[in-house]
Chains A and B, each alone.
Chain A
Amino acid sequence: MITRRQSLAAAAALAAVLAAGPAGAQEKMKVVATFSILADLVKNVGGDRVEVAALVGPNGDAHAYSPTPADAKTLAAAKVVFANGLGFEGWIERLIKASATRAARVVASTGIKQRKMEDEDHPGRIQTDPHAWQSVANAKLYVANIRDALIKADPAGKSAYEANARAYTAKLNTLEREVRAAVAKIPADRRKIITSHDAFGYFQAAYGIAFVAPQGVSTESEPSAADVAKIITQIRREKILAVFLENITDSRLLKRIAEESGAKIGGTLYSDALTDAKGGAPTYLDMMRHNVRQLATALTT
């Protein structure tokens, strides 16, 4: 039989444990990044002093994300919120309001040279292309912004953040050299692919591989003969050597298109999200290397 006194004592003990909890754990600054790629950058700059939570995790689509109550809780506990900006996460403003968080808000893409692109859902409408991280030069800017924001929120860690940012920027420099070297090996007249991703505008501007949008097939519905004919004609006309068409889920149809147009079928390109640790792109560095490798294999052989 549990008496009232016993249950009161238990409740008191529980309260004490709860109160002691945070103090007992090693004190890390909690910050939030809106999506996995940004979270990876923040992790690299923050190092041991920072605990990063990504609202949209690996393999998630930040464009079409709808926040959950748990996200509001995560936000409320955070000291800094990192967002990509450029209209990438349309939902973040409302979420910040709803969570009543006092976290500092940082737009990681501040200072980059913006590109315009056509709106996916409304052809003809021009909007800012948010996928700025696809150029490594921009990623270095992201890193600088993240470093400054972290120092502002946690001045005691200034030297650590600066050292981390320096080390990671060095890695980014190596990466950028690798990317340029890989692209340089592809003959200039072969640097053109068809892909349904619309996320490579910055990559194209920085490294000179042309990404052509497929005409016709735009949805996951069953394509019509007209769609298939359009793509084949386009590939032949523009002499495109490789297709990366992930929205055609029917591998047999993809094979048919490739066979008939003479183009090669490329592998997976990662654009908006990292994969989990088992996938091909668990970090930003891995992602960029993976993409370049895929492009180089498809275009040189």
Chain B
Amino acid sequence: MMLYSYLIAPFAEFEFMRRALIGMIALSLGAAPIGVFLMLRRMSLMGDAMAHAILPGAAIGFLLSGLSLYAMTAGGLIAGFVVALLAGIVARTTELKEDASLAAFFLVSLAVGVTIISIGGTNIDLLHILFGNVLALDNETLVLIAAITTLSLAILALIYRPLVVECVDPGFLRSVSRAGAPAHIAFLALVVLNLVGGFHALGTLLAVGIMMVPAAVSRFWGRDVTTMILIAIACGMFSGYAGLLLSFHSAAPAGPAIILVAGALYVGSVLFGRVGGLVRQLVPRRHLEA
């Protein structure tokens, strides 16, 4: 009975808790696999950069049609795609590496966004509006997250093979197939899509956090991509559930609580992880003897 009132009753009693949980489950399903691929391609910080890059688009959407979920999402998507594409083109055609060109583009994009907001001169704190709240998911937002997740999973299934090969050995992929570049672009599009969806629904911290932290956790437990993706998804969902409970039973704000749970999982994994965890390294196993 105690367990029930602690672990289940909050969700049974309050609709906003159920909605938050559903949102977190959907978001984990879409964002966590993308986080794993970002990590494997050493682009872990890209999520953060992209979250800033979509600001001008969202701002223009806001100025054109006010507080409309769809206008701001569309604007954010366009801005994110443009930055990702330009950064990718520069990286592939010049000497500059992708992270450096992305850094340049996202900073310019952020500056444009701040300028647009200032010139627009609305009294409403746009940044405040841009950041969603996991406790306030309405039907529209839930549908948007679910749609983005569905689309992400379908596209990931399509480009899974070239994506994995490019993570491991891009040279090999180029030698046997022309699928590398389209797969890369489709993947970047998915990153933007998930960020924009998560951004409006849940806020930047949550959107980027639920994408990257579970991915980092999964690295300590899985040896192949499939296992890592499954672990990342499970970790994301658990963080959502436990974080919401934490916020319900303490006074912690919901978004940070969810990421804090994920962070605790990460620390645990760094220490005790099966693959390369610190404790494992300190306690050497017996060598295989011939």
Does A253 reach chain B (CB closer than 8 Å)? yes
Give the Cβ gap from B185 to chain A, nearest Cβ, in Å: 33
Which B179-233 residues have a C-beta within 8 angstroms of A? none
Question: Which bucket holds chain B's interface residue count?
Answer: 20 to 34
Measured in the bound complex, the distance between the Cα atoms of B249 and A233 in whole Å is 15
Give the Cβ gap from B112 to chain A, nearest Cβ, in Å: 26
Give the Cβ gap from B12 to chain A, nearest Cβ, in Å: 12
Residues of A within 8 A of B13 (CB): 229
Contacts A221-B253, A225-B248, A249-B128; is A260 near B136 (CB within 8 Å)?
Answer: no
- For A256, give its contact among B128, B138, B244, B251 (CB under 8 Å): B138
Give how many A-B residue pairs fall within 8 Å (CB-CB).
70
Does B277 reach chain A (CB closer than 8 Å)? no
Q: Is the CB–CB distance between A226 and B247 below 8 Å? A: yes
Does A232 reach chain B (CB closer than 8 Å)? yes
| Total count of chain A residues near the partner, CB < 8 A | 20
Residues of B within 8 A of A225 (CB): 10, 16-17, 20, 135, 244, 247-248, 254, 257
Residues of B within 8 A of A228 (CB): 14, 16, 135
Q: Is the CB–CB distance between A253 and B10 below 8 Å? A: no
Measured in the bound complex, the distance between the Cα atoms of B284 and A197 in whole Å is 63
Does B132 reach chain A (CB closer than 8 Å)? yes
Most chain A CB atoms below 10 A, which of B10, B14, B257: B14
Per-position 1/0 for A243-278, Cβ under 8 A of B: 000000111110111011000000000000000000
Contacts A225-B17, A228-B16, A260-B15; is A252 near B132 (CB within 8 Å)?
Answer: yes
Does B255 reach chain A (CB closer than 8 Å)? yes
Contacts A250-B133, A252-B133; is A226 near B16 (CB within 8 Å)?
Answer: no
Closest to A220 in B: B128
Residues of A within 8 A of B17 (CB): 225, 229
Give the Cβ gap from A181 to chain B, nearest Cβ, in Å: 35
Give the Cβ gap from A209 to chain B, nearest Cβ, in Å: 28
Residues of A within 8 A of B138 (CB): 252, 255-256
Measured in the bound complex, the distance between the Cα atoms of B134 and A228 in whole Å is 12
Chain A residues engaging chain B, CB cutoff 8 angstroms: 221-229, 232, 249-253, 255-257, 259-260
Chain B residues engaging chain A, CB cutoff 8 angstroms: 10, 13-17, 19-20, 67, 125, 128, 132-133, 135-138, 141, 244, 247-257
* Apart from the given pairs A225-B244, A228-B135, 9 other A-B contacts in the complex at a CB distance below 8 Å: A222-B254, A225-B20, A249-B125, A250-B133, A252-B132, A252-B141, A253-B133, A253-B136, A260-B16
